[in-house]
Structure 1
């Protein structure tokens, strides 16, 4: 029987590699000027106009409880579909797309370097890279936060 590999985008936050299912990623963009919005959650950085679509931008570092960094040349925005809402996720760097076998994925421990386990799908143990924390983008935003993001996009 053929093994089903999961295509995974690899990105960095705080020098740690993370992965997310490529099926949720629409594109990878350079960080553009973000129009900031008043009275939104601190991790919602604002909006960008991406090819005619107003796209809310979320700082994944802030969202996961890490300190914010000034953007660099390597900073990227992962344009993702999160429960039918298009959002941009700011990451330090997008490095790779790899195939991951389910055999190398363990359940996420309760706490991984301060990242809440609810955001985690698991931990992939890869020979060539070490541990890759797999994020579940559907849980990175709660339903209330998604509503907030949706309202931001519609204003």
Structure 2
């Protein structure tokens, strides 16, 4: 039986998962330098061992209300194709394996979020895990398509 290994994290009461093969590392939140005229969901850039990488607020990207940073807040550093970027999350919860048969396509009304960000919903017992389509998280500023 095929399975996927995921890194899971929370934004408020929702739990999300991303493919562990795309996760470079998980770090505490360092100082973030704001970038003028960047999209509203781009918090700015950080210096990660000499590399400048953009940081996206997933809360802002998904239209959720902002919250204060806590001791559990983290940046998940991801690599998607040739791009490296960080996503700010409320907390990283666990690394888990899920059978591909337990993953369903996103519902037509995608949980109040833009469905382009969701590649499926994983069922783990009573829990539902929203699986993100990372190719669309960075969106317009990497593909130069406004609103992509």
TM-score of the aligned structures, taking structure 2 as reference length: 0.92
Q: Which residue of 1 aligns with 2:111?
A: 113
Q: Tell me the CA shift for residue 112 of structure 1.
A: 3.0
CA contact (8 A) 1:110 1:116 kept: no
- The RMSD of aligned alpha carbons is 1.3
Mapping of 1:1-155 within 5 angstroms? 3-127=1-125, 130-142=127-139, 144-146=140-142
TM-score of the aligned structures, taking structure 1 as reference length: 0.88
Q: Tell me the CA shift for residue 147 of structure 1.
A: 5.0
Structure 2: gaps of 5 or more residues: none
Matches of 2:69 and 2:128, distance apart in 1: 25
Aligned structure 1 segments of 4 or more residues deviating by more than 4 angstroms: none
Q: Tell me the CA shift for residue 4 of structure 1.
A: 2.0
For these two proteins, the number of residue pairs brought into alignment is 144
Q: Tell me the CA shift for residue 110 of structure 1.
A: 2.2
Structure 1: gaps of 5 or more residues: 149-155
